[in-house]
Amino acid sequence: MLNETAVRTWITEFLVSLTGAEAATITGDAPFYNLGIDSVDAVVMAGAMEEHFGTEIEATLVLRNATIDELIADLRESGLLS
């Protein structure tokens, strides 16, 4: 089971590292697209997330959600988030 706070923290750090954006700009409702994340990055992020959390993450998880908030809700619906 994943922990919401841990997932949010990791995603923020990952996006800061990938894009060089300020952490403050990476809010729950900021569209990935506006952060400069393209479809390739979205799949890369799924791979890194799977490695980091040791849980299978679908390749399309980030692609099919526009924001961190939507992604978190998606994980919850899939029963992956406590």
Minimum gap (Å) between residue 82 Cβ and another protein? 23
Give me the sign of the Cα torsion angle 57, 58, 59, 62.
negative
Nearest to 7 by CA among 38, 64, 52: 52
Residue 2 bridge partners (DSSP):
81
Residues 12-71 that bind another protein (CB under 8 A): 14, 17-18, 20, 29, 33, 36, 38, 40, 43-48, 50-52, 57, 59-60, 63-64, 66, 70
Minimum gap (Å) between residue 77 Cβ and another protein? 12
Given a contact cutoff of 8 angstroms between Cβ atoms, the answer to whether 65 and 80 are in contact is no
| Residues binding another protein: number (CB under 8 A) | 25
**Footprint on this chain of another protein (rule: CB under 8 A):** 14, 17-18, 20, 29, 33, 36, 38, 40, 43-48, 50-52, 57, 59-60, 63-64, 66, 70
